[in-house]
Amino acid sequence: MQRILAEHLADVQVVGLDDVPAYDEPVEDQPTFEGNALLKARAGLAATGLPTIADDSGLCVDALNGMPGVLSARWSGPPGDDKTSADDRNNELLLAQLADVPDERRGAHFECAVVLAHPSGVELVEHGVMRGRIIRETRGSGGFGYDVLFVADEHAAEGRTSAELDPGEKDRISHRGRALRALAPRAAELLSAG
């Protein structure tokens, strides 16, 4: 965010959650990415008094009627007692659910909503999407979540998953990168106005 905003507002300073006093983050209980992003941005603004940017994102699989969607991080249920990470459990469940789905019906997209809540009461919202497909086995060690199973349309020819892309390339095509780049000029204009 610092890099993207700096292109539009050179003297902006972006701080993260670790840079402000701890506060209770809201439960993400909204049915949309935008709803959850609004909850988080409003909570950050209320707790700090600072303009706050928050996002929510997830994977939407065509053959699963858009699921896991807003439940992406919790798709396989609450954390278990085993040593398997939530990401691994989510990926295993997704592969099992798509086991009989032919390759041509494994379309999916990552979706992101990003919100800026400003002390003036203004709320800016932008969305980003990265389209692609789900492959049949995990590949790559970068990224997180479903990146090891997702091949973006921009990389369909070589079949590289999001987890096999360097961070700069992933930022360029990702749903979150697209949403943040759309928000940045609007945010800079709002922040410049006072």
162 known ligand binder:
no
83 known ligand binder:
no
Choice among 55, 56, 81, 103 that is catalytic:
56
Q: How far apart are CA 124 and CA 115, in angstroms?
A: 5
Q: How far apart are CA 51 and CA 148, in angstroms?
A: 34
Q: How far apart are CA 30 and CA 64, in angstroms?
A: 19
110 known ligand binder:
no
Is the separation of the CB atoms in 128 and 176 below 8 Å? yes
176 known ligand binder:
yes
Name the strand (E) or helix (H) holding 11: none
Peptide bond into 68 cis (omega under 30): yes
Concerning whether 56 is annotated as a catalytic residue, the answer is yes
146 known ligand binder:
yes
Question: Rounded to an integer, what is the distance from CA 100 to the centroid of its chain?
Answer: 27
145 known ligand binder:
yes
57 known ligand binder:
yes
144 known ligand binder:
yes
Checking DSSP bridges between strand 107-117 and strand 123-134, what pairing results, if any?
A: antiparallel
58 known ligand binder:
no
Cβ-proximal residues to 149 (8 Å cutoff; 6+ apart), any chain: 91, 94, 95, 134, 135, 138, 161
87: helix, coil or strand?
A: helix
Provide the annotated active-site residues: 56
Annotated binding site: 56-57, 144-147, 170, 175-176
Annotated binding site for substrate: 57, 144-147, 170, 175-176
Annotated binding site for Mg(2+): 56
